[in-house]
Amino acid sequence: MRIVLVGPPGAGKGTQATRLAAKLSIPHISTGDLFRANISRQTELGKLAKSYMDAGNLVPDEVTIAMAKDRMEQPDAENGFLLDGFPRNVSQAEALDELLKSENIKLDAVLDLEVPEEEVVKRIAGRRICRNDSSHVFHVTYSPPKKDGVCDVCGGELYQRDDDSEETVRKRLEVYHSQTEPIIDYYKAQGLVVTISSLGPVDEVTQRALEALKREDDGA
């Protein structure tokens, strides 16, 4: 299957993308991984992207699209892929359509992970990270430490990252609503959107997604 995964920050896209890609035996292609891989390998696209990033500018759509094209042409993506973080806006979605059309392939589904805005704020703003080891992550509601403000693993101080503050989360949601959310309507017009709730245990959300994708695939 060829799938685009969309949803607001805090919807669990990264977690579900990894799980779904493994279940479906297709590569998980994320924008972040594309940038990191190209920059670390010092490809021409990586050098170009880094020059924009070092200058504090957004990487132009055409660079992101070229990276995605290169990745989708790799042998492991021959029978499908799951795109996470791309396309990020309607112009990228249009470019992706043109790219797939030129290869005589098409998307099978656009999986929309739906989550109430206040739940997004609660999920992200509740995160607490250990200053000693950022892999030690807690949540004030869902996985609180035994002692408030203290890491269970090493005793380090727990803190809230600036990116996780409620103000920052709400700004990220504004960007999502204005830039990325319109691609849902764009793909709805093509009959590709499958919407599921991302509330509940991770396993349940994964199963919900797989069942929805199977129905979409069977109906195609």
Pair 69, 103: CB distance under 8 Å: no
Selecting among 50, 69, 88, 208, the annotated active-site residue is 88
User: Taking the CB of residue 59, how many other CB atoms lie within 10 A of it?
Assistant: 17
88 is catalytic: yes
Contact assessment for residue 188 and residue 79, using Cβ atoms and an 8 Å cutoff? no
* Active-site annotation holds for 127: yes
Active-site residue (options: 41, 161, 171, 215): 161
From the list 2, 122, 172, 208, the catalytic residue is: 172
Alpha carbons 145 and 134: distance in angstroms, whole number: 15
The single residue of 19, 123, 127, 128 carrying the catalytic annotation is 127
**Spatial separation of the C-alpha atoms in residues 74 and 94, rounded to whole Å:** 21
Q: What is the DSSP letter of 180?
A: I
Angle, helices 202-219 vs 13-24, to 10°: value is 50
User: Has 161 been annotated as catalytic?
Assistant: yes
79, 74, 86: which is closest to 110 by C-alpha? Answer: 86
Active site residue 171: no
CA–CA dist 82, 26 (Å, integer): 7
Catalytic positions, written as ranges: 13, 88, 127, 161, 172
